[in-house]
């Protein structure tokens, strides 16, 4: 009984994380749109990675087979919305046995920190990856003050 995951703090947290993922999966398939805006759904298109430094937020969307003008990117009230459509129909008279590549409309929504400057955003698309760089406001970044003797 002492080997149970419920008796170690990390095991208990891992169990709660597993249950949360199962509930998110259940809710997203039963009632689409009901999951937390900050949470991504497993298997969503396009796949998204988000990273942060003291100077900026970097968002990477993995969307091969698209053109830069097929993305619609907007920021409103610290919410980044990326949408678009990918249409890659199979050739006529082709019989499809399996289709794992996503086609159709998509939308990804990411809640941003309060210190993002919406006027200083760059986006570029290369090799199937959309990279959005969002700069943080200068006034909110920590400044090191040198003490002189």
**Residue range 43-89+102-140, CATH number:** 2.60.40.790
pLDDT in tens, 64-99: 889 999 999 999 999 999 999 988 777 888 887 777
For residue 13, the surrounding DSSP H or E stretch is: helix 9-30
Q: How far apart are CA 15 and CA 7, in angstroms?
A: 11
* Residue in this structure with the two tokens 């400057």, named with its chain if needed: 117
- Would you list the DSSP string of 23-90? HHHHHHHHSTT-S-TTPPPTT-SSEEEEEE-SSEEEEEEE-TT--GGGEEEEEETTEEEEEEEE--PP
According to the model, what pLDDT value does residue 110 have?
93
Domain locations in the chain as residue ranges = 1-36, 43-89+102-140
Q: How far apart are CA 76 and CA 59, in angstroms?
A: 16
**pLDDT digits (tens), the chain, 149 positions:** 455 555 555 577 777 777 777 776 665 554 444 434 344 454 577 899 999 998 999 999 999 889 999 999 999 999 999 999 988 777 888 887 777 777 889 999 999 998 999 999 999 999 999 999 999 987 766 777 889 87
Q: Are 134 and 111 in contact (CB under 8 A)?
A: no
Q: What is the dihedral of CA 97, 101, 103, 107, to 10 degrees?
A: 150
């Amino acid at each position: 009984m002492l080997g149970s995951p419920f008796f170690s703090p990390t095991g208990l947290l891992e169990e709660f994380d597993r249950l949360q993922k199962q509930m998110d999966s259940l809710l997203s398939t039963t009632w689409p749109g009901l999951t937390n805006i900050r949470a991504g759904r497993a298997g969503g298109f396009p796949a998204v990675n988000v990273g942060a430094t003291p100077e900026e937020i970097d968002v990477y969307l993995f969307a091969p087979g698209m053109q830069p003008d097929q993305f619609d990117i907007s920021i409103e009230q610290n919410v980044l919305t990326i949408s678009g459509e990918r249409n890659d129909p199979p050739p006529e008279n082709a019989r499809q046995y399996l289709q794992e590549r996503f086609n159709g409309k998509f939308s990804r929504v990411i809640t941003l920190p309060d210190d993002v400057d919406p006027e200083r955003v760059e986006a570029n698309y290369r090799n199937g990856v959309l990279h959005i760089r969002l700069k943080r406001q200068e006034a909110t970044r920590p400044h090191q003050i040198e003490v002189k003797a």
